[in-house]
Every structure is written in structure tokens, then in C-alpha cells.
């Protein structure tokens, strides 16, 4: 269970720091709908794990997850993404420097997140238009007026990217030096991390530090700490140089309007996470309740629920989503008075997208749970409960629900990656998130136009695809580990 404690710490620290920052800077906290649901989800997860820790039979499969080196390495990557997403979920309206007439604080209309604040440099150092990764000059030629007044057509220097360089030929050296320094710092941080981990493990198992250290390095611990450390090391080795370079360069270039692509990619993470998690949150009560009811009661209740999900299923998902999103769009457009800020409007559309996706995707899990409930209701312990005259509600909550929870959990983690990928497609089709919301889909959609340019502007696309690939791959690998640990059939088969 140690990885869970670690997860908790990793989640709580940024949240606490963010709250503190908002309080200290006397900003006005803004809780968007999706923020509230994310924190609700977080609280629910915390409650679940607290409950699991106290019940050995529930903790056992998680122990198996914790013993999977691929799964835990994937978890480390996922946690990094989740941390970014959480930091991006603490919203506020910054206090303006100018106090109001009565000396009270006045807040900007713009809603920012803690990530925006942390990446203020990235956000503010915009260029005029495209520039390639780590470039010092723009991507297309412009008419430039030289000091002597003559005009030439050339690539202009960027306003921020590499602007500190007197001599552009020193760019490679500069980059290399910055990278090496950052790597050294990353290595140091990693060493501290490893040492702290070893010390904590040693303390917990009351072993000598040296023994624990050697066990850690030799991968002889039950939890694959070494694999997790290596993953964390790779992450640090990528993140530190990127951070160091982003102070002076556009690491992943800039887009059409000169925004830093790295910033866009980081902002997209939250959108992906929200869609991947909140959708399941919407779908879960529906599929669990209806699925179990259909299987348990059978008869006309079953007929009715089956009719409902066959009907919903029969409408092509994209079209149903498109129709519903168009409707929502009409509602939003015709009632602009309901949304004080653009951020709130975009957020509500995101939430609606989650709800719509949830409404169209509950049928799969419901069908699975129906089948399971059909099997369970014939089991002898349920018959025994009937022999005691136990009520249906109690049989469902005490006997059936706990015995299908593993399926719900597997579905939950398996659906996540599919939803993240679906967002990109839907946004491309034009029925995804609000165009003002930064997401992988909107990034790809915007960059697609640049395909035709010669030479091609490839970095925005590549950045979006790479971030999305890493996130989805980590989610898929983690989901596999969870499924292997929870699915009794799979474990018997092997």
C-alpha cells in the first residue's frame, strides 16, 4: 500500500501549495464546475483507498497491482500528468495592482489557474507567429528594416526565443550548457529522491539503510521501487532541461498566433484528464444501477432497461454526441447572460461534453453488469439471503454490488484512455470542447491547417500527439495491470 501513500502525498502537496498561493496573493478563488467535480472525485478516491487499506480482501488485488513493475512505472507517469492537471484545476481571478476606489481589492475578469501562474513566462512570452522548436528566428521571411534603413527579406529574430543571445551561432553551446546544468540538477534531485525513499523504506521495515538501499538497487523489493525510480528519473531528465530551456527558448516552438506550444500541451493535459475521468463519473451511477437492476429483477424491468440501452446504442455515437453538443451550443449561444466569464462558458461546455459522452457510453458497462448480476442472482449465497427474507435493496447493496465492483473498476480504468483519444476526434469533427478550451483535439485541429504549408509546420502536431501518446500509453499500461490484478478469470487462466 506504500505506493498509495506516495500518491496521496504527491496529490496533496501541489493542492496545498496552490491554495496557499491563492490565499497569500489575495486572489479571488474561482471554482469551476469541473474543478468541483475533480475534487469530489479525488475525495471519493481518497475515501475508497482509506476503506481499502482497512480491508485485506480488497487490498489484496491492489497489492498485486503494486507488484507490477510496468503498472507502477506507468502510474508514476500518470501521476506526473495528474499533478499537472490538478495544478491546472486551481482557478482564481488575480488581484489587480490598482486597488478599488474604496481601497478594496479589485480582481481581473480573466480566470487563471495555478499552472498559468507557474508558467507565466511561457504564457507571456508570445511571438508574432510560427517559430520552430528552440529557434531564434521566425519561420517565415518578412520585410525587415535594417539599421541603415535598407529593407531586406529575411527571417526576423524572435522577440523572446533566444533573445538573450548576442551571437546566434552560440545557440547550440548555450542550449547544451543549459541542458547539462539542468541534467545535473535533475540527477541531484533524483539522488535525493532515491535516498529519501530508501530511508523511508528502511524506517518502515526497521532495516538498516544500507540493506534497504541495496535491495532497492537490486530490485529485490516487493513493490518495484527501482522501476518506479528509473521512470521518475527519465521524467526528471526530460522535465528539467525542458524547464531550463523554456526560460529562454520556445522548447516546442510556437503556433500560428505565437503561443508557446509547450504551454498549450501542458494546458491540454487537464482537458484530457477531465474528459477521461468525469465522463466515467457521469456514466457510473447509470450503468451500475440499471445494469444490476436489469440482471437482478429480470422480467419487465429487464425488458425496459434493455430496450433503453439498445435504442441509445443504435444511434451512432458520434451523431448522438454531435446532435447533443449542437443543442448545447444553441442553448449556450442563446443564453449568454448565464455565463459571466468566457472560462465559465468553456468549462460548462466541457462538462456537458462529459455528460453527453457519459450518457452515450453507459450501455457497455450496463450490459456487462447485467450479465454478471444474472449469474450472481443464482448463486447460493443470494439464495440463502432470500431464505432469510432479506430485502431486494439489501441484497443488491450487500451481495451483488460488492461482487461486481472489480468489473466497475476495470471498466473505469480501461475507458479512460479511449475517452482521451475520443476527445481529439470529436474536437476535430467540431463537436468536442469549446474552441477556446485548449485541448489535444483543438491543438491538432489548429495544426492540421499547417500541414499544407511548405515547409511543413510539424511541431504543434507532434507535441500534441506525443503528449497524448505518453498519457494514453501510461493509462493503458496501468489499466492492464489493474485488470490483471482484479480479473479472477485472467488469473486462473495463467
Beta bridge mates, 144? 152
Decide if residue 398 touches another protein (CB under 8 A).
Answer: yes
**Inter-residue contact 251 to 131 (CB < 8 Å):** no
Closest CB 68 distance from another protein, rounded Å: 13
Closest CB 473 distance from another protein, rounded Å: 4
Q: What is the C-alpha separation between 183 and 177, in angstroms, rounded?
A: 10
Burial class (CB within 10 angstroms; exposed 0-12, middle 13-18, buried 19+) of 463 = buried
**Inter-residue contact 115 to 267 (CB < 8 Å):** yes
Q: Which of 19, 69, 129, 329 binds another protein (CB under 8 A)?
A: 329
C-alpha cell at 203: 524506517
Q: What is the DSSP letter of 219?
A: T
Q: What is the C-alpha separation between 467 and 470, in angstroms, rounded?
A: 5
By beta-carbon proximity to another protein, the closer residue of 97 and 387 is 387
Q: Phi and psi dihedrals of 419, rounded to 5?
A: -70, -40
By beta-carbon proximity to another protein, the closer residue of 57 and 206 is 57
Q: What is the C-alpha separation between 21 and 343, in angstroms, rounded?
A: 21
Decide if residue 102 touches another protein (CB under 8 A).
Answer: no
Closest CB 295 distance from another protein, rounded Å: 17
By beta-carbon proximity to another protein, the closer residue of 30 and 74 is 74
Decide if residue 389 touches another protein (CB under 8 A).
Answer: yes
Decide if residue 39 touches another protein (CB under 8 A).
Answer: no
Terminal Cα distance for the chain, rounded:
24
Q: Residue holding cell 479525488?
A: 42
Q: Residue holding cell 543549459?
A: 178
Decide if residue 319 touches another protein (CB under 8 A).
Answer: yes
Decide if residue 318 touches another protein (CB under 8 A).
Answer: yes
Q: Which of 347, 349, 399, 413 binds another protein (CB under 8 A)?
A: 399
Q: Which of 444, 446, 482, 485 binds another protein (CB under 8 A)?
A: 444
C-alpha cell at 219: 530490485
Decide if residue 430 touches another protein (CB under 8 A).
Answer: yes
Burial class (CB within 10 angstroms; exposed 0-12, middle 13-18, buried 19+) of 157 = middle
Closest CB 150 distance from another protein, rounded Å: 37
List binders of another protein among 270-309 (CB under 8 A): 307
Closest CB 463 distance from another protein, rounded Å: 12
Q: Which stretch binds another protein (CB under 8 A): 146-154, 183-191, 249-257, 331-339?
A: 331-339
Decide if residue 322 touches another protein (CB under 8 A).
Answer: yes
List binders of another protein among 400-429 (CB under 8 A): 402-403, 417, 421, 424-425, 428-429
Phi-psi bin for 174: left (phi > 0), alpha (psi -120 to 50), beta? alpha
Q: Residue holding cell 489484496?
A: 60
Q: Which stretch binds another protein (CB under 8 A): 5-13, 102-110, 135-143, 472-480?
A: 472-480
Decide if residue 388 touches another protein (CB under 8 A).
Answer: yes
Decide if residue 473 touches another protein (CB under 8 A).
Answer: yes
Closest CB 311 distance from another protein, rounded Å: 4
Sign, CA dihedral 141-260-190-477, equals: negative
Decide if residue 337 touches another protein (CB under 8 A).
Answer: no
By beta-carbon proximity to another protein, the closer residue of 6 and 472 is 472
By beta-carbon proximity to another protein, the closer residue of 60 and 184 is 60
Closest CB 36 distance from another protein, rounded Å: 25
Name 356's Cβ contacts closer than 8 Å, sequence gap at least 6.
320, 321, 324, 325, 328
C-alpha cell at 372: 454478471
Helix (H) / strand (E) containing 242:
helix 225-246
Is residue 150 classed as helix, strand or coil in its secondary structure?
coil
Closest CB 218 distance from another protein, rounded Å: 19
Closest CB 444 distance from another protein, rounded Å: 6
Other CB atoms within 10 Å distance of the CB of residue 271: 27
Q: What is the C-alpha separation between 99 and 110, in angstroms, rounded?
A: 17
Distances 482 to 61, 65, 66, 74, 421 between C-alpha atoms, Å: 8, 6, 9, 11, 20
Closest CB 52 distance from another protein, rounded Å: 12
Closest CB 316 distance from another protein, rounded Å: 4
Decide if residue 170 touches another protein (CB under 8 A).
Answer: no
Decide if residue 26 touches another protein (CB under 8 A).
Answer: no
By beta-carbon proximity to another protein, the closer residue of 207 and 390 is 390
Q: Which of 82, 351, 477, 481 binds another protein (CB under 8 A)?
A: 477
Closest CB 106 distance from another protein, rounded Å: 29
Q: What is the DSSP letter of 152?
A: E
Omega into 383 within 30° of 0, i.e. cis?
A: no
By beta-carbon proximity to another protein, the closer residue of 239 and 322 is 322
Q: What is the C-alpha separation between 368 and 452, in angstroms, rounded?
A: 45
Q: What is the C-alpha separation between 76 and 187, in angstroms, rounded?
A: 17
**Residues near another protein (CB under 8 A):** 56-57, 307, 310-316, 318-320, 322-324, 326-327, 329-331, 333-334, 379-381, 383-391, 394, 398-399, 402-403, 417, 421, 424-425, 428-431, 440, 444, 448, 451, 456, 458, 461, 465, 468-469, 472-473, 475-477, 480, 489, 491, 493-494
Amino acid at each position: 500500500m506504500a505506493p498509495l501513500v506516495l500518491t496521496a502525498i504527491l496529490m496533496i502537496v501541489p493542492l496545498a501549495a496552490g491554495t496557499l498561493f491563492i490565499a497569500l496573493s489575495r486572489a479571488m478563488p474561482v471554482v469551476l464546475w469541473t474543478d468541483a467535480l475533480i475534487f469530489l472525485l479525488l475525495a471519493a478516491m481518497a475515501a475508497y483507498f482509506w476503506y481499502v487499506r482497512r480491508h485485506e480482501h480488497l487490498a489484496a488485488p491492489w497489492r498485486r497491482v503494486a507488484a507490477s513493475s510496468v503498472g507502477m512505472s506507468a502510474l508514476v507517469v500518470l501521476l506526473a500528468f495528474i499533478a499537472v492537471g490538478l495544478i491546472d484545476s486551481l482557478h482564481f481571478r488575480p488581484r489587480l495592482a490598482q486597488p478599488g476606489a474604496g481601497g478594496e481589492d479589485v480582481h481581473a475578469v480573466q480566470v487563471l489557474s495555478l499552472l498559468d501562474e507557474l508558467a507565466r513566462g511561457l504564457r507571456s512570452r508570445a511571438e508574432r507567429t510560427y517559430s520552430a522548436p528552440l529557434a531564434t528566428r521566425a519561420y517565415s521571411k518578412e520585410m525587415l528594416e535594417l539599421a541603415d534603413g535598407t529593407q531586406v527579406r529575411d527571417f526576423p529574430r524572435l522577440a523572446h526565443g533566444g533573445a538573450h543571445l548576442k551571437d546566434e551561432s552560440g545557440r547550440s553551446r548555450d542550449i547544451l550548457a543549459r541542458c547539462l546544468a539542468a541534467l545535473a540538477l535533475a540527477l541531484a534531485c533524483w539522488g535525493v529522491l532515491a535516498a529519501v525513499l530508501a530511508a523511508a523504506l528502511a524506517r518502515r521495515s526497521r532495516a538498516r539503510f544500507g540493506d534497504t538501499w541495496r535491495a532497492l538497487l537490486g530490485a529485490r523489493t516487493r513493490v518495484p521501487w527501482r522501476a518506479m525510480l528509473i521512470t521518475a528519473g527519465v521524467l526528471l531528465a526530460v522535465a528539467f532541461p525542458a524547464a531550463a530551456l523554456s526560460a529562454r527558448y520556445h522548447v516546442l516552438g510556437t503556433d500560428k498566433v505565437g503561443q508557446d506550444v509547450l504551454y498549450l500541451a501542458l494546458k491540454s493535459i487537464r482537458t484530457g484528464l477531465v474528459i477521461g475521468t468525469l465522463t466515467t463519473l457521469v456514466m457510473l451511477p447509470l450503468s451500475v444501477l440499471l445494469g444490476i437492476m436489469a440482471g437482478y429483477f429480470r422480467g419487465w424491468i429487464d425488458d425496459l432497461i434493455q430496450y433503453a440501452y439498445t435504442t441509445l446504442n443504435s444511434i451512432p455515437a458520434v451523431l448522438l454526441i454531435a446532435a447533443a453538443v449542437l443543442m448545447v451550443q444553441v442553448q449556450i449561444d442563446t443564453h449568454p447572460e448565464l455565463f459571466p466569464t468566457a472560462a465559465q462558458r468553456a468549462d460548462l461546455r466541457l462538462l456537458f461534453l462529459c455528460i453527453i459522452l457519459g450518457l452515450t457510453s453507459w450501455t457497455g458497462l450496463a450490459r456487462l453488469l447485467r450479465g454478471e448480476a444474472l449469474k450472481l442472482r443464482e448463486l447460493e449465497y443470494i439464495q440463502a439471503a432470500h431464505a432469510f427474507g432479506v430485502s431486494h435493496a439489501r441484497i443488491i447493496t450487500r451481495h451483488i454490488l460488492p461482487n461486481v465492483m472489480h468489473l466497475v473498476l476495470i471498466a473505469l480504468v480501461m475507458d479512460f484512455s479511449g475517452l482521451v483519444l475520443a476527445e481529439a476526434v470529436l474536437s476535430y469533427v467540431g463537436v468536442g470542447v469549446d474552441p477556446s478550451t485548449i485541448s489535444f483535439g483543438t491543438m491538432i485541429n489548429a495544426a492540421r491547417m499547417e500541414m499544407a504549408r511548405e515547409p511543413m509546420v510539424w511541431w504543434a502536431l507532434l507535441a500534441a500527439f506525443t503528449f497524448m501518446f505518453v498519457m494514453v500509453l501510461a493509462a493503458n499500461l496501468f489499466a492492464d495491470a489493474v485488470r490483471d490484478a482484479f480479473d479472477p478469470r485472467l488469473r486462473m487462466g495463467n
